[in-house]
């Protein structure tokens, strides 16, 4: 898998390959935690989907979702700094006070949007896993599904922009990229165990490369075409990368 490794720095020569593989295997084991079970990816606060006996609670939950979606639309198009809570209130026809009742600060709104962005991925994972592909096929379809969400899902678009603007947001945002890397490293380790990976490919190194590739592809497509061509661009990149890591 020379091309993946040759792009990294001087410590990737053949004499270092075994060492690197050992290091990333250790990382895989560490990520998998005791007993080898991958930690549940995308640790997000559960979204209460409780319905029924308390209509007041349901109305509040619906209002919160309305406000969150309006905030996502404004954060995705204008960014965190340029978006005001008054704009969010105007967009949903509420007073600023009513918005603050549900989200006490603009930062709390940003955190809620980013968390709902990450809450999308376990749902995508469950849907793709239910299709019953092998670990490599699951990784491929997960990333293709994510590319679609980056193009079509306003909460995912807003969450991605807010994570890029995190230095401007005075709030505790989830650590980006690490959960996708853990999830893909787990799937690729399973593919390796089935002999589906090229011998010299380190599952975690490949996982980091796939995450970097999708992040970069969605960012460039956003800047150049507002992600209109993202699905095509990602299928090109994914084709190259999965051909590079899949065993003949």
Range in contact with ligand LUB (rule: CB under 6 A) among 3-11, 48-56, 67-75, 176-184: 176-184
CA nearest neighbour of 112 among 78, 50, 159, 150: 159
Q: Is 139 among the residues that bind ligand LUB (CB under 6 A)?
A: no
Residue 197 phi, psi (nearest 5): -105, 145
Residues 76-105, interacting with ligand LUB (CB under 6 A) = none
Should residue 146 be labelled a site residue for ligand LUB when binding is judged by CB under 6 A?
A: yes
| Shortest distance, position 23 Cβ to ligand LUB, whole Å | 22
> CA–CA separation, 222 vs 107, rounded Å?
24
* Cβ 186 to ligand LUB shortest distance, Å: 14
- Write down the least CB distance from residue 247 to ligand LUB, Å: 24
Cα(242)–Cα(157) distance, integer angstroms: 25
Site string for ligand LUB, 209-228 (x = CB under 6 A): --x--xx-------------
Helix (H, G, I), strand (E, B) or coil at 222: helix
Q: Shortest gap between Cβ of 238 and ligand LUB (angstroms)? A: 12
Nearer to ligand LUB, 69 or 163 (CB): 163
Select 144 or 244, whichever has its Cβ closest to ligand LUB.
Answer: 144
Q: Tell me the closest approach of the beta carbon of residue 50 to ligand LUB, in angstroms.
A: 28
246 three-class SS: strand
Q: Report the distance separating Cα 7 and Cα 16, nearest Å.
A: 14
In 3D space, the residue among 198, 240, 202, 207 whose CA is nearest the CA of residue 138 turns out to be 207
* Burial of 205 per CB tally in 10 Å (0-12, 13-18, 19+): buried
Judged by CB under 6 A, which of 83, 116, 160, 221 binds ligand LUB?
160
Nearer to ligand LUB, 189 or 210 (CB): 210
Question: Please, is 180 exposed, middle or buried when counting C-beta atoms within 10 Å of its C-beta (0-12, 13-18, 19+)?
Answer: buried
Binding site for ligand LUB (CB under 6 A): 146, 160, 163, 176-177, 180, 211, 214-215
């Amino acid at each position: 898998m020379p091309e993946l490794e040759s792009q990294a720095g001087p410590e990737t020569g053949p004499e270092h390959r075994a060492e690197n593989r050992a290091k990333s295997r250790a990382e895989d084991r560490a990520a998998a935690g005791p007993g080898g079970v991958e930690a549940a990816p995308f640790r997000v606060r559960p979204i209460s989907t409780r319905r029924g006996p308390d209509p007041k609670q349901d109305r509040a939950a619906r209002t919160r979702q309305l406000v969150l979606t309006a905030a996502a639309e404004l954060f995705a198009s204008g960014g965190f700094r340029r978006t005001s809570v008054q704009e969010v209130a105007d967009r949903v026809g509420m007073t600023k006070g009513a918005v603050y009742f549900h989200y006490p600060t603009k930062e709390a709104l940003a955190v809620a949007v980013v968390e709902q962005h990450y809450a999308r991925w376990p749902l995508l994972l469950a849907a793709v896993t239910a299709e019953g592909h092998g670990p490599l096929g699951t990784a491929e379809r997960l990333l293709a599904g994510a590319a679609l969400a980056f193009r079509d899902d306003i909460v995912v678009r807003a969450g991605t922009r807010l994570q890029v603007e995190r230095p401007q947001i005075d709030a505790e945002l989830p650590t980006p990229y690490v959960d996708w890397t853990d999830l893909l490293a787990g799937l690729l380790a399973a593919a390796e165990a089935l002999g589906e990976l090229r011998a010299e490919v380190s599952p975690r190194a490949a996982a980091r490369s796939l995450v970097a590739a999708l992040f970069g592809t969605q960012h460039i497509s956003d800047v150049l075409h507002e992600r209109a061509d993202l699905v095509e661009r990602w299928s090109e990149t994914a084709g190259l990368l999965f051909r590079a890591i899949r065993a003949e």
